[in-house]
Amino acid sequence: MKIITYNVNGIRSAIDKGFINWLKASNPDVLCLQEIKANIDQIDINVFEALGYTSYWHSAQKKGYSGVAIFTKLKPKHVEIGCGIDKYDVEGRAIRIDFEDVSVLNVYMPSGSSGEERQAFKYEWMDDFYTYTDALIKQIPNLIVVGDYNICHQPIDIHNPKSNAKSSGFLPEEREWLSKFMGLGLIDTFRHHNPEPHHYTWWSYRAGARKKNLGWRIDYQMATLPLESRLLRTAILSDAIHSDHCPVLLEIA
């Protein structure tokens, strides 16, 4: 199975930048999108259906904001829209798709970069999502939690850890939480295969950051321990330029 996660920062904008041709060439079995910023009736879904995809959407109630979607060529046995917590579900932050032997949970975790109020909301999410995932793993042992976590885990995951030590997304409390989250029995699949530095998934639009590769690795595919022997390959697809993020690919047996 070939799974790609991608924060597209607006699916309509991404489509205008050649997203459909990229998708056709990449041909994942399962595509998980974050920050779609649209409802399904605002795009031509027939284009995706022509490529063999069925899509499931969890858009935010607020127009042009947040939202997640899953496109799949494989028939699921169940799709779970939302996480059952209203304050997150109104923002379209989670959607899960269950297949016979693996489930994929697609999440768009909150950012705290806009100020103290949203940082506090992010901390609430972190506590609640930890509890939610802990229970889910007990129910679904073969689980992959993909998406934009809005957290860099280690200094290797950010271009300038010293100057960003007090930046939302690299705060000590956030990094400690991510370690705790992985302690539920989750493998950072990219680091499982790639220990080298200078691999990022998000770049600021300012000061030519992407061209200079001054980025952050905040998009993940975390897999539970029972899936470890099935992890074939993980790659950051930094040549895809439809967003300020880039896709992350995971192949499992």
User: What total of structural domains would you count in the chain?
Assistant: 1
Query: 172-182 vs 116-139: helix axis angle to the nearest 10?
Result: 10
Task: Assign residue 192 the CATH number of its domain.
Answer: 3.60.10.10
pLDDT in single tens digits along all 253 residues of the chain:
999 999 999 999 999 999 999 999 999 999 999 999 999 999 999 999 999 999 999 999 999 999 999 999 999 999 999 999 999 999 999 999 999 999 999 999 999 999 999 999 999 999 999 999 999 999 999 999 999 999 999 999 999 999 999 999 999 999 999 999 999 999 999 999 999 999 999 999 998 999 999 999 999 999 999 999 999 999 999 999 999 999 999 999 9
Rounded CA-CA distance 160/141 in Å is 36
Domain that holds residue 6: 2-252
Instruction: Indicate if 44 belongs to the active site.
Output: no
pLDDT score at 99? 98
pLDDT of residue 223: 98
The rounded distance, in Å, linking the Cα atoms of 165 and 136 is 32
* Predicted local distance difference test score (pLDDT) of residue 248: 98
pLDDT confidence of residue 181: 98
Torsion of CA 21, 33, 16, 23, to 10 degrees: 0
- Annotated catalytic residue within 16, 101, 128, 148: 148
- pLDDT of 211: 96
* Paired tokens of 206: 């300012």
Ordered alpha helix ranges (H), 51-171: 86-89, 116-139
The CA distance from 146 to 102, in Å, is 13
**For position 151, what pLDDT does the model report?**
98
Confidence (pTM): 0.98
**pLDDT at residue number 22:** 98
